[in-house]
Amino acid sequence: MDKEVSQAANLPAQKELAKIPGAVRETKFDAWWVLVAIVILLVIFLALVFPDPYLDLLRFVRRGLIVTITITFISFFLTLILGLFGGLARVSKNFILNGISTLYVEIIRGIPLLVQLIWWFFAFPALIRSFGAARGIPALANYVANEWLMAVVGLTICYGAYMSEIYRAGIQSIPVGQMEAARSLGMTYFQAMRFVIIPQAVRVILPPVGNEFTALLKDTSLVSVIAVSDLTRAGREFMSTHYNPIETWNMVALLYLILTLFSSRVNAFIERRLSVTQR
């Protein structure tokens, strides 16, 4: 009885609180999760009803699927770190830092990712071997590139440039008064950036960061050209063995679609949790 009376007494206050944007957390169901479930059920249906070749294909590419997911997460984690430093350098008043970061961003964004991956796997090791031979260093002269490592490096360097611009835009979107207020409280520049500016910028850049993760996930398919046994390469090997391109690439496309849709929905969920509700 007391609980019911208390709830009735708080009802007017709750109604007023609901009028304040962001004061009450919304619990709307994301209908796009239905699409994720439909695609997953479609894959299961194909595997159960047509085990040859779909179930065999799933078993064959599962290791490549794990490689794709692993490369995506490692590359994205390193991209976030590289992009943060690049973004801070881009907004820095230090001429050298600003110049180096700007040069890095402009050069990397002007070269296709596929070309960069090929360069890291073929040209970079050749440079190392040439340097080692010239200096008489056997370890470098006999250097052999690891395709998995070169894939992570290539993806990180490429997406780090784009992430730097996202961080820069997010930091510059915060009003100058925030920095001035932090400095007036006795904070150093780095303390103000760490505790005041960057936390606010993270909420601003969350949507484009989520989009970059999805784009990176899809672009991992390019690492198959440098002999990384990812999902795309596994599909290509299965097709060359069984000569069924339609079934193979339908299933590979569905698997990529599940990954991208799932990542998009998770990003949307995080965005709703951290952002202020717009009415």
Report how far residue 150's alpha carbon sits from residue 159's, in angstroms, rounded to the nearest whole number: 14
Q: Which residue has the higher pLDDT, 188 or 159?
A: 159
3-state SS, one letter per residue, for 189-220:
HHHHHHHHHHHHHHHHHHHHHHHHHHHHHHHH
The pTM for the full model equals 0.85
Grade residue 167 by pLDDT with cuts at 50, 70 and 90: very high
What pLDDT digit, counting tens, does each position of 204-252 carry? Answer: 898 899 999 999 999 999 999 998 999 999 999 999 998 899 999 999 9
Distance of CA 21 to the CA centre of its chain: 29
First to last CA, the chain: 35
Q: What value does the mean pLDDT take over residues 164-180?
A: 91
Tokens of 34: 């239905």
Report how far residue 45's alpha carbon sits from residue 40's, in angstroms, rounded to the nearest whole number: 9
Give me the phi and psi of 27, to 5 degrees please: -120, 35
Q: In whole angstroms, how far apart are CA 72 and each of 15, 58, 76, 118? A: 44, 20, 6, 18
Grade residue 277 by pLDDT with cuts at 50, 70 and 90: very low
The pLDDT score that the predictor gives to residue 25 is 53
> 3-17, 59-73, 126-140 — which is least confidently predicted?
3-17
Report how far residue 54's alpha carbon sits from residue 46's, in angstroms, rounded to the nearest whole number: 6
Torsion of CA 205, 211, 214, 219, to 10 degrees: -100
Percentage of the chain with pLDDT > 90? 65
Q: How many CB atoms lie within 10 A of CB 3?
A: 7
Q: Which residue has the higher pLDDT, 8 or 265?
A: 265
The residues spanned by each domain of the chain are 31-274
Which of these, 179, 192, 210, 196, lies nearest to 273 by C-alpha position? 210
SS3 category, 28: coil
Q: Would the pLDDT of 17 be above 50?
A: no
> 25-34, 81-90, 259-268 — which is least confidently predicted?
25-34
- In sequence order, the 6+-apart residues with CB closer than 8 A to the CB of 94 are none
Report how far residue 205's alpha carbon sits from residue 191's, in angstroms, rounded to the nearest whole number: 20
Q: In whole angstroms, how far apart are CA 235 and each of 52, 93, 256? A: 15, 49, 12
Which of these, 235, 231, 205, lies nearest to 218 by C-alpha position? 231
The pLDDT score that the predictor gives to residue 5 is 46
Report how far residue 87's alpha carbon sits from residue 32's, in angstroms, rounded to the nearest whole number: 33
Q: Would the pLDDT of 94 be above 70?
A: yes
State the CATH architecture for 31-274.
Answer: Orthogonal Bundle (1.10)
The pLDDT score that the predictor gives to residue 278 is 42
Report how far residue 82's alpha carbon sits from residue 118's, in angstroms, rounded to the nearest whole number: 21
Tokens of 91: 């907004």
